[in-house]
């Protein structure tokens, strides 16, 4: 079905198509294109037009991302044809985004609102897709229906706190709280909005640095630290592994990996990484805090106190 939809927009190569990508290759391309959209770099996607047009049945997520790139480039007609009736979730969500950008609120709601019969007011057409909650919430808010928008947006930030659109969702949630006179809740949400916006600003900067200097490990360390602060250990580990692969003697990355292993509950691996980091650079500071916390977690009070004292002597300010 997706191939038929796409065929209405693009002239597909009539000759034998290349083999379908392996799942890992498709996932990598989706991640790369999604990053290009998140960083406002749609031309990177459009440069792969020849590859895209050669696909007989591309993944619907790739179709949606290509349509969003076309829209960003100002070609709404091609984007709309490509999405077609937008039955699959990724296509419907992309169509809803384009409709919202064009201020076509009713059309956006047709793409993401649940069927009128038998559906709760506090759900959405694609409940397993966080963006469906966001886009319906945005559409409801634009329509002036903050009462229906609020639970949708709250569910979105709960499901996808690190999504690029989280700060904007928090902004709308602040307006919702103010609308029903809850100043305390509005203040709490504004604090969350500020934290989210700050995190995303740093993340965007580090992501761009990593792209501009792909052989430099430092931006990868910055990304890892952001994910670690967000308690997203797998994402942090991926960035640390990339940094260490670029420079096996990057002592600060080894130091942070020790703290990651501790948070993951892998005490032996954490201590081994801490020892490795100190061998790499005896002047490191944070490693002593990790050693202190490992000792504390194991009930070795005196060792924890001694390591924490070393951390403080080096200017560390965090609590044990």
Residue 138 reports pLDDT greater than 70: yes
Global pTM?
0.86
CA distance 15 to 126: 36
Q: What CATH number does the domain located at 235-313 have?
A: 1.25.40.10
Phi and psi, residue 9, nearest 5°: -110, -30
Q: What confidence category does residue 92 fall into, taking pLDDT thresholds of 50, 70 and 90?
A: very high
Residue 220's pLDDT band (cuts 50, 70, 90): very high
Q: In this structure, are residues 221 and 240 in contact, taking their beta carbons and an 8 Å threshold?
A: yes
Q: What is the pLDDT of residues 229-263, one digit of tens each?
A: 999 999 999 999 999 999 999 999 999 999 999 99
Task: Give mean pLDDT, residues 44-60.
Answer: 94
Q: How does pLDDT run across 99-111, given as a tens digit for each residue?
A: 999 999 999 999 9
Give the pLDDT mean for 214-242: 96
Is 249:229 a contact under the CB 8 Å cutoff?
Answer: no
Query: Which pair of structure tokens corresponds to residue 94?
Result: 């992309």
The burial class, CB within 10 Å (0-12 / 13-18 / 19+), for 40 is exposed
Which has the higher per-residue pLDDT, 17 or 308?
A: 308
Domain locations along the chain: 1-102, 235-313
For residue 160, report the phi and psi dihedrals to the nearest 5 degrees. Answer: -135, 65
Q: CB of 59 within 8 A of CB of 26?
A: yes
Q: Is the dihedral of CA 280, 217, 198, 29 positive or negative?
A: negative
DSSP string, 218-243: HHHHHHHHHHHHTT-HHHHHHHHHHH
Q: How confident is the model at residue 120 (pLDDT cuts 50, 70, 90)?
A: low
- What pLDDT is stored for residue 121 in this prediction? 64
> Residue 4 pLDDT > 50, yes or no?
no
pLDDT, tens digit, for every residue of 276-314?
Answer: 999 999 999 999 999 999 999 999 999 999 999 999 999
As a whole number of angstroms, the distance between CA 250 and CA 281 comes to: 9
Sign of CA dihedral 125, 169, 153, 234: positive
């Amino acid at each position: 079905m997706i191939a038929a939809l796409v065929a209405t927009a693009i002239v597909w190569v009539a000759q034998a198509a290349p083999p379908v990508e392996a799942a890992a290759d498709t996932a990598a391309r989706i991640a790369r294109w999604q990053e290009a959209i998140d960083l406002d770099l749609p031309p990177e996607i459009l440069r792969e037009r020849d590859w895209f047009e050669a696909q007989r049945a591309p993944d619907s997520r790739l179709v949606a991302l290509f349509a969003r790139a076309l829209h960003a480039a100002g070609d709404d007609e091609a984007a709309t044809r490509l999405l077609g009736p937008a039955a699959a979730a990724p296509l419907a969500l992309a169509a809803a985004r384009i409709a919202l950008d064009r201020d076509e609120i009713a059309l956006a709601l047709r793409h993401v609102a649940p069927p009128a019969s038998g559906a709760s007011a506090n759900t959405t057409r694609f409940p397993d897709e966080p963006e469906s909650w966001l886009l319906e919430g945005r559409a409801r808010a634009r329509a002036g229906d903050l009462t229906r928008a609020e639970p949708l947006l709250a569910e979105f930030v709960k499901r996808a706190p690190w999504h690029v659109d989280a700060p904007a969702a928090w902004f709308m949630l602040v307006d919702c709280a103010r609308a029903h006179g809850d100043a305390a809740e509005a203040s709490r949400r504004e604090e969350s909005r500020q934290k989210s916006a700050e995190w995303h600003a740093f993340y965007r900067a580090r992501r761009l640095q990593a792209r501009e200097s792909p052989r430099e490990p430092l931006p990868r360390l910055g990304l890892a630290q952001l994910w670690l602060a967000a308690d997203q250990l797998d994402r942090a580990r991926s960035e640390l592994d990339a940094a260490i692969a670029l420079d096996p003697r990057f002592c600060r990355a080894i130091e942070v990996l020790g703290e990651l292993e501790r948070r993951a509950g892998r005490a032996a691996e954490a201590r081994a990484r801490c020892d490795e980091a100190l061998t790499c650079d005896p002047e490191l500071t944070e490693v002593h805090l990790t050693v202190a916390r490992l000792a504390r977690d194991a009930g070795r009070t005196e060792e924890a106190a001694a390591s924490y004292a070393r951390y403080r002597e080096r200017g560390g300010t965090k609590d044990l």
